Amino acid sequence: MTLSPALSTPIPADELVTAEKLLALLRTTTTEPRPDDQLEALALAVAADLPVLLWGEPGIGKTAALGQLAASLGLPLTTVIASVHEPTDFSGLPIIGDDPTVQGVPMAPPQWAVELVRAGRGLLFLDELSTATPAVQAALLRVVLERRVGALQLPPGVRIIAAANPRASAADGWELSAPLANRFVHLYWTHDRDVVVRGLGGVWPRAELPSLVPEQLPEAVAYARRAVCSFLDARPTLIHRLPATETRRGGAWPSPRSWEAALTLLAFGTASSASRDVLALLVRGAVGDGAGLELLAHLDRMELPDPESLLADPVSAELPVRGDLRQAALEAVVAAIGARPQRERWEAGWRVLIRALETGVPDLLVAPAMALAALRREDWEVPEAVERLVGVIDLARSADQVVR
C-alpha cells in the first residue's frame, strides 16, 4: 500500500500499476513518411551542421518535434534550459590547479558537455533562449559558433538546435542579441492541423535526413557558389545589412556569416532535390525575408533558358515546367526578338510558342503571342504555324474574360 499525500488514504499498488500501463499506452506512438516542409527544413539544416533556432508560441510543439527528430535519427538528446543557467555554465568554471603560473587556470565544463563528448554524437537542445539574460547569451556565442564549452571542444557529431518564444509571449523575455542571432538559421514553427490531429491519433511524421546523391555533390556546390556570388555581385549592399531595430536584429539578417550559411543550405538543398518551399524556409531563415526573397528570385532567373538558344532550335526547345518561369521564358524570347527584329527570328519565335503549346497549357501564350504579333513588319508574311495558335489563344482569352 502507498499513501496519497493529498488525501492520506491508502491506494492499492495494483491500481498504480494499471495507471502506469494506461500512461504507457498513451505514450506509445508510431511515425510515417509524410511531406512536412518544416520538418524537412529542420532535418536538412541539421545535416548541414548549422545551428538552428526554432521560433514559436508556447505549446506549439517545438520541444516535441526535437524529441521526435532525435529519436528518428538515433541521436541522444541533451536538453539545456538556457534561462536557468549562469554564464559560467557555458564559458566554464575556473579551476585552480597545482601551479597556475605554469599550467594556467583551466575552465571546467559542465557535466552535460562532458557526457556529449563521451557519447561523440547527439543533439544539444538549448531551450528557452529568449528568456536567457544578455550575459548568458554572450556566453553562448562560443558554444554555438565554435562548439566550445569551457576548455572542452564538442565533437563534430554534435548538432545544436535552440528554441525560443517571441518576446511578447516569453516569460520575462529578452530580445536576442545581434551577434548570437546571426549565428543561427531561424525557422518559424507553426502547427499544421493535419499533423496535430493525426499525431494525437498516434502517428507523427517521420523526420529523415536528406538523401544526398554523391554524383550531384560537385555540381550542387558549384551551383550554390555561382548563385550566391553572382547575386551579391549584383546586390553588394546586401552583403552586410544590420537591421535598425533591436527586434529585427534578434532574427535573421544578411552578413558574410549568414550568406555562408545560405550557400551551404543551397548546396545541400540542391544535392537532395529539396522543394522550393523548403529552400525558401532555409534561405529566408539564414539571411532574412528581404534578402532571402531576392536570392530566390535570382535563382529563378538563373533557371531560365537562354532565349537565343530557344530561337536557335525552337522545335526541341526545353521550357520550364513551372508556370511563372515558363511565361518569363516566353517573354524573354519576345524581348530578344524585339531587341534584334529579323524575319527569321520572328518566325522562330512563333515556333517557340507552338512548342510551348505542345508541352503546356495555352493560357500562358496569350500575352507573349500578342506581343510577338505586335513586332510584325508589313513585308513579313504570317507563318502558317500561327493558325494553330489563333483558336487556342482566342479560347483562353475568352475564358479569362469570363472569370474576370
Average pLDDT over residues 332-344: 91
d(CA 240, CA 108): 36
pLDDT band at 391 (very low <50, low <70, confident <90, very high): low
Q: Report pLDDT for 404.
A: 45
Query: What is the full DSSP assignment across 90-136?
Result: HH-EE---S-HHHH---EEPPHHHHHHHHHSEEEEEEE-GGGS-HHH
pLDDT band at 400 (very low <50, low <70, confident <90, very high): very low
Query: What is the full DSSP assignment across 204-235?
Result: EEPP------GGGHHHHHHHHHHHHHHHHHH-
**pLDDT tens, position by position, 197-233:** 988 998 888 878 888 989 989 999 999 999 999 999 9
Q: Which one is predicted more confidently, 165 or 100?
A: 165
pLDDT band at 5 (very low <50, low <70, confident <90, very high): low
pLDDT band at 403 (very low <50, low <70, confident <90, very high): very low
- DSSP letter, residue 149: E
- On whether the CB atoms of residues 30 and 145 are closer than 8 A, the answer is no
Backbone φ/ψ region at 267: left (φ over 0), alpha (ψ -120 to 50), beta = alpha
Global pTM value: 0.78
Above 80 in pLDDT, residue 113?
yes
Grid-cell match 536570392, residue found:
295
CATH of 33-93+107-205, one of 3.40.50.300, 3.90.800.10, 3.30.565.60, 3.20.10.10: 3.40.50.300
R_g (Cα) of the chain, nearest Å: 29
End-to-end CA distance of the chain, in Å?
76
**pLDDT tens, position by position, 123-164:** 999 998 888 888 999 989 989 988 998 888 999 999 999 999
Above 70 in pLDDT, residue 179?
yes
**pLDDT tens, position by position, 7-38:** 556 666 788 899 999 999 998 888 888 888 99
Average pLDDT over residues 70-86: 87
> Rounded to the nearest 5°, which phi and psi values hold at 300?
-60, -45
Above 50 in pLDDT, residue 402?
no
Average pLDDT over residues 159-187: 85
**pLDDT tens, position by position, 55-72:** 988 888 788 888 888 888
